[in-house]
Chains A and B, each alone.
Chain A
Amino acid sequence: MTSSIVRTRRVSGAVVAAACAALVVAGCTSNEPRESEETATGPVTVTENDEPGDEVVIGFSAPAADHGWMGAITSAAKAEAEKYEDVDLQVAEGTNDVNVQISQIEGFIDQGVDAIVLLPFDGAALTDVALEAMEAGIPVINVDREFSSPFAARATVLGDNYGMGVSAGTYVCEQLGDNPDAVVAEIAGIDSLPLTQDRSKGFADALDDCGLDVDARVAAEFTVESGEEQTANLLSAEPKIDAIWNHDDDQGIGVLAAIENAGRDEFFLVGGAGSNNMMEEIQDPESVVKATVIYPSTQAADGVKFARLIAQNKNVSDLASIGVPRTVQLFAPVVTADNVEEYLPIGFDS
């Protein structure tokens, strides 16, 4: 009896100790760096279009910033709007619920904004409400994920997923071209997404051009954890690899961790998207990361610029034709040690 009381006290003691430890670690939730860092800004270009015009209210809606690239989309759009004193950017809370996003656009229509910049969580699901906005006379700028109707947007800014694959594949070809037996591996993102399929197709097509093919392929889920897991398996499966293309730099942190854990460095790694982290790796000659392919996180910032021009009836300054173009597909350049300085300003934090 006595011993059970003693044990009870001891166990309660453990709980109390745990609670105390909890109080101590409760202080550990801050993410303030010790010395403040400068936030990156995009390349600065000044044209006469940048002269202040009529006040423009732009509604902005994008999915939840649940990964680095998407976070950078919204912050780049906000930063772009900051540069113009004539732009009032109304940013709706990022959401992955299409119902909520539809209601946000309905809100913008009721409010009578001058233009809407919309990166839909699901292009098809947001098409109807975008049409509604267009019919109400509000130009919609569709970013990244396309609507299912061409009437739903005045202008569309797209990244180039197929082009990313082509750029990555072409770079791999340049490095390995003379060796048809080279082993090329691919670490894709979520396989069910059309964007992943486009990237893989572009990669395969470009490799095919120089007589190479994808010898091993795994699909991660754009998360660090899945990147690590899939890469660990991939490295086990292929004892010797010459080149790896990883679709996404956010999952790339896990990919690099797995490569480090396996102690492998006989290959070079090409990234995708263009995070600061990967660009820093590119700058390090010791790293296996030799290149990354940009998928611009400044797309929505371009959308904001277009929205302003359309609302103010201006033209894109370096085009001879009148009116903002219907569709702009952004370039997917390869960043290597030679040009990384140029691209660091548009890198994003994972």
Chain B
Amino acid sequence: MSQRSALMGPALRMGGLVLALILLIVVGVATAGERFWSTGNLITVLSLAAVTGVVSIGMTFVITSGGIDLSVGAVVGLASVWASTLATQYAAEDYGWWVIPVTALAVGLVAGLINGLLVAYGKMPAFMATLAMLAAARGLAEIIAGRQTQIVDVEPFFDVFQARPLGVPTIVWIFVVVAAAGWFLLNRTTFGRRTVAVGGNPEASRLAGIKIKRHTLYLYGLAGLTAGIGAVILLARTTAGSSTHGTLLELDVIAAVVVGGTLLAGGRGTITGTVLGVLIFSTLTNVFVLNNLDSSVQAIAKGAIIVGAVLLQQWFASRERVSTT
């Protein structure tokens, strides 16, 4: 591969995403004017993107390694329920607000590690292992919550997570920090390089000395952990835990990751692309609501964007191949 196309390829792909986002913003400004282009609305878009965004970062790693995690939505639901039971809330009142987020993160992490064990050591296809977790986690969440909505009544928790340091909600900061940490982890550490290597060519990675099983375990653990963070954000936003939280979130997350340019087959991943993908979908929803348009039309537009983005990616990919030969 020539050096020029190696640099141009990703830049072009990012360019396409940025262009799509700018296009959406132009449509937003043209149709809704100041209602769209205001600090308040910008924060609304970012807050709405926070849950999907945080979970998408973990998913980017899993997909880059050639895996998939269908359970993230259900794990978000389970973690939100577990972290908002009365027992947890009493513990939070007695020991401190941190009990709630720590519970959610622990539940997410353990669910993720179970996924990882099944995939890496149980040799189950990721699709099946995480599908099983999807069903089981949702069921457990329903049992714990008794299918009721659990309202959180721990003020100190909201004091922290509904605060607005520098005028920006805490949950948006969490998204920013998780995205930055994800970018660093993927692009600047051995862990990230191994993730790409495992996704690109597992056999070669194994021969190169990467402990694939253990690495896979960590990747799913990471995805579970981000699902736990997503649950904390949802708890902060909705003030309640519910077994219905995160329903079908996995689809939005996978769509954002793939639209962002991470290869579903593995071997290539981009955190920047994922963040742009998340922002595109979140802006799209916002523009539709600002114009009081039907939610069904929005679903069609979502579908069109996914198809368009993937076709564009394939086109870029084929150009890269041509330019290198």
Contacts and interface: CB of A to CB of B under 8 A. Distances in A.
B187 interface: no
B286 A30 contact: no
A136 B34 CA distance: 66
B125 interface: no
B237 A29 contact: no
Contact of B147 (A33, A64, A230, A258): A64
Interface string B260-287: 0000000000000000000000000110
Interface residues of B, number: 55
A29 B295 contact: no
B247 A228 contact: no
Interface in A6-28: 11, 15, 18-19, 21-22, 24-25, 27-28
Interface in A106-155: none
B86 A225 contact: no
A71 B285 contact: no
Contacts of B306: none
Nearest to B142: A66
A34 B239 CA distance: 20
- Is the contact region of chain A dominated by helix, strand, or loop, or is it mixed? helix
A260 B232 CA distance: 17
Contacts, number: 150
A67 B103 CA distance: 24
B110 interface: yes
Nearest to B247: A223
A257 interface: yes
B239 A253 contact: yes
B66 interface: no
Contacts of B107: 22, 25
- Which 7 interchain pairs have the tightest Cβ spacing? A233-B289, A30-B87, A236-B44, A28-B88, A223-B244, A350-B149, A21-B106
15 contacts: A22-B109, A25-B88, A29-B87, A30-B87, A31-B146, A32-B87, A71-B147, A218-B295, A223-B244, A236-B35, A237-B35, A237-B290, A253-B149, A254-B238, A258-B237
Interface of A: 11, 15, 18-19, 21-22, 24-25, 27-34, 64-68, 71, 191, 215-219, 221, 223-225, 227-230, 232-239, 250, 253-254, 256-258, 260-262, 277, 349-350
Interface of B: 32, 35, 40-41, 44-45, 47-48, 82-83, 85-88, 90-91, 102-103, 106-107, 109-110, 113, 142, 144-151, 162, 169, 218, 221, 234, 237-240, 242-247, 285-286, 289-290, 292, 294-296
